[in-house]
Chain A
Amino acid sequence: MSGLGYALSDTVVLAKRSLLRIPRQPDLLLGFTVQPVMFVLLFVYVFGGAIQTPGFDYEDFLIPGILVQSMAFGGFVTALGLAEDLKKGLIDRFRSLPMSRAAVLTGRTTADIATNVIQVAIMLLVGLAVGFRFQTGVPDVIAGIALLLLLGYAFSWVFAFLGLAASSPEASNAYGFIVILPLTFASSAFVPVETMPSWLQTFAEVQPVTTMVDATRALFLGTPAGNDVWGAVVWAFAIILVFGWLSVWRYRRAVGR
């Protein structure tokens, strides 16, 4: 088999390992299932009444935003898993094996795609139950879901880097929140950007999550897309390239403890 063939088969072996762990750690499973449901319900029923979204029902405004947020956080298992592997010495073992250098990372991020699919499905079902409606045709909806999964994959690479850079699994979790939470809240995900103070608007408009949320709204609700869809795709690939490179660089130097 060729180098690329091995890289792929190593990735499959390790993705399987990551996925096997999920049903065996029921508390992790809660993170993927109950948490998104809770978020949708909280926002719709607690904040929904207080937030003005001219031109939209709040459910319609919210669901694309909250989907992007859950994709942005979907990779937390990757950070947690890598930080644990480092602590337990598994990274030492993997690094001593004649396997692909990137497979430990691609295995994790690939497994995240599967859990992200579950999250998107659950959130869309709950969204539909609370009144969200697609306002575009099937091709756009499918493109929107594909975009969400691409974004989730990109963020998994951010988490891969954080997991390898953090000194412990707990710290990796904290880093994840510190990096991702401001990006998702200071964006168009939950409130219209125009309601923010002007300095925050500037930040919200240039950062990727707003572009990603606007692109998802365009594909689900038919709002004017402008360059948002392509912008979101470019952001996703840029994140994958930069954080993929950083993660592999970090992995090559990683030693246990």
Chain B
Amino acid sequence: MDGPVVETHALEKRYGDTHALRGVDLRVEPGTIFGLLGPNGAGKTTAVRILTTLLRPDAGSARVAGLDVVEDANRLRERIGLAGQYAAVDENLTGFENLEMVGRLYHLGRRHSRERSRGLLGQFDLADAGDRLVRTYSGGMRRRLDLAAALVARPPVLFLDEPTTGLDIRSRRALWDAIEALVAEGTTVLLTTQYLDEADHLAGRIAVIDHGLLIAEGTPDELKLQVGGDRLEVRLCSRDDNAAARDALAAVGDGRVEGEDGAVRVAIRERTGTIAEAVRRLDERGIAIDDIAVRTPTLDDVFLTLTGHHAEEEAEEAVER
């Protein structure tokens, strides 16, 4: 298909006094992973629910796979898969029965539903547990079953709301691999996450939202550039050397040097050879180094720069509230 797979214009949604989305424009190109990144309460789930026809927007419009989410909701449901924020699986059915049911409800037919269910159980490492009741499953197994359920009908567009929340590192990696494999086959994925490293690892493009507003959009590298690119960070053994170190390092980077209390930061253009050069210059002046490293800004830095607060700090506050 040509053109974007997901396209929203000035999307708004209110719940009573809460303005969950305040005019959001998104654009997701076919065959890519798009990450919607934001802290608790940012509006991620609300956006996913509108795009999967569960909620009607109050204003603005959204098209998915070329279909309007309100006008063409029925036809759209045939082309999307959803794995919501909490694993939506029936505890009193087996894993196999859950998937078969979803297959039948996509109208795949009995035989096809069964074959597909067995296949997915194998693919998500649930073959042995497939005939056990889901209420005996661990949280990670439920999550994987939930994702498998979203894939039963091989939908071209997949919505994953915080797919790896609550998973251990191994399961998280496995899920990342599964998502990447789907995209390699041509699926378009929109996923939400609170984890900066997850968006960084998976998504080709990222939209950062906070309090219902889009505050940044771009590739992970573009977002990092907004914060100023790579930096050389040096910790000195003695804070008395601060001024001398700044002089020595001014020529290493692009001239922007800052530092106090024995920690000096230099904005650099080129990573290669920087550390060696810096060590040589400091050595020449007899300045002792405690620690030296080139640091790439993380998405947390992006968040801090854009919003004035850390993403995960706010997330914790929101949970406490």
The yes or no answer to B80 lying at the interface (CB within 8 A) is yes
Q: List chain A residues, Cβ under 8 A from B91.
A: 88
CB-based contact A97/B106 at 8 Å = yes
The yes or no answer to B27 lying at the interface (CB within 8 A) is no
The yes or no answer to B102 lying at the interface (CB within 8 A) is yes
Q: List chain B residues, Cβ under 8 A from A98.
A: 74-75, 77-78, 105-107
Q: List chain A residues, Cβ under 8 A from B204.
A: none
Q: List chain B residues, Cβ under 8 A from A10.
A: 104-105
CB-based contact A93/B82 at 8 Å = yes
CB-based contact B105/A99 at 8 Å = yes
Q: List chain B residues, Cβ under 8 A from A94.
A: 105
The yes or no answer to A198 lying at the interface (CB within 8 A) is no
Residues 123-141 of chain B, each 1 if its beta carbon lies under 8 Å from chain A, else 0 = 0000000000100000000
Q: List chain A residues, Cβ under 8 A from B105.
A: 10, 13-14, 94, 97-99, 103
CB-based contact A96/B82 at 8 Å = yes
Across the interface, B97 reaches (CB within 8 A) one of A14, A20, A97, namely A20
Q: List chain A residues, Cβ under 8 A from B101.
A: 13-14, 17
CB-based contact A256/B93 at 8 Å = no
CB-based contact B90/A17 at 8 Å = yes
- Bound complex: CA of A226 vs CA of B78, how far in Å? 52
CB-based contact B102/A95 at 8 Å = no
Q: Do A9 and B82 form a contact, CB below 8 Å, given A24-B92, A96-B52, A98-B77?
A: no
Q: How many residues of A are counted as interface, with CB atoms below 8 angstroms from the partner's CB atoms?
A: 25
CB-based contact A95/B93 at 8 Å = no
- Bound complex: CA of A96 vs CA of B133, how far in Å? 24
Q: List chain A residues, Cβ under 8 A from B49.
A: 92, 255
Residues of chain A from 230 to 257 with CB closer than 8 A to chain B in the complex? 255-256
CB-based contact B80/A255 at 8 Å = no
Shortest Cβ distance from residue A164 to the other chain B in the assembled complex, whole angstroms: 14
Say what secondary structure dominates the interface of chain A.
helix
- Bound complex: CA of A10 vs CA of B93, how far in Å? 17
CB-based contact A92/B107 at 8 Å = no
The yes or no answer to A4 lying at the interface (CB within 8 A) is no
- Bound complex: CA of A103 vs CA of B107, how far in Å? 13
Say what secondary structure dominates the interface of chain B.
loop
The yes or no answer to A1 lying at the interface (CB within 8 A) is yes
Q: How many residues of B are counted as interface, with CB atoms below 8 angstroms from the partner's CB atoms?
A: 30
CB-based contact A96/B80 at 8 Å = yes
Across the interface, B88 reaches (CB within 8 A) one of A1, A9, A25, A92, namely A92
Q: List chain B residues, Cβ under 8 A from A14.
A: 101, 105
The yes or no answer to B293 lying at the interface (CB within 8 A) is no
CB-based contact B104/A13 at 8 Å = yes
The closest CB in chain A to the CB of B53 belongs to A96
Shortest Cβ distance from residue B149 to the other chain A in the assembled complex, whole angstroms: 7
The yes or no answer to B87 lying at the interface (CB within 8 A) is yes
Shortest Cβ distance from residue A14 to the other chain B in the assembled complex, whole angstroms: 8
Chain B CB within 10 A, most for which of A14, A17, A25, A98: A98
Q: List chain A residues, Cβ under 8 A from B85.
A: 89
The yes or no answer to A6 lying at the interface (CB within 8 A) is yes
Residues of chain A from 143 to 162 with CB closer than 8 A to chain B in the complex? none
Q: List chain A residues, Cβ under 8 A from B133.
A: 24
Q: Do A95 and B87 form a contact, CB below 8 Å, given A17-B93, A20-B92?
A: no
Q: Do A1 and B54 form a contact, CB below 8 Å, given A89-B86, A89-B88, A93-B84?
A: no
CB-based contact A97/B88 at 8 Å = no
Q: List chain B residues, Cβ under 8 A from A103.
A: 105
The yes or no answer to B215 lying at the interface (CB within 8 A) is no
CB-based contact A20/B86 at 8 Å = no
Shortest Cβ distance from residue B63 to the other chain A in the assembled complex, whole angstroms: 16
Q: List chain A residues, Cβ under 8 A from B88.
A: 88-90, 92-93, 256
Shortest Cβ distance from residue B113 to the other chain A in the assembled complex, whole angstroms: 9
Q: Do A89 and B53 form a contact, CB below 8 Å, given A13-B104, A17-B101, A20-B97?
A: no
Across the interface, B54 reaches (CB within 8 A) one of A9, A13, A95, namely A95
Can you report 7 residue pairs joining A to B where beta carbons are below 8 Å apart?
A1-B107, A13-B104, A89-B85, A92-B49, A96-B52, A96-B54, A255-B55
Further pairs besides A9-B104, A90-B88: 14, Cβ < 8 Å: A1-B107, A9-B107, A14-B101, A14-B105, A17-B93, A20-B92, A21-B92, A25-B92, A89-B86, A93-B149, A97-B77, A98-B105, A103-B105, A255-B55
In the A-B complex, the 5 residue pairs with the closest CB atoms:
A89-B88, A21-B92, A98-B77, A93-B88, A98-B78
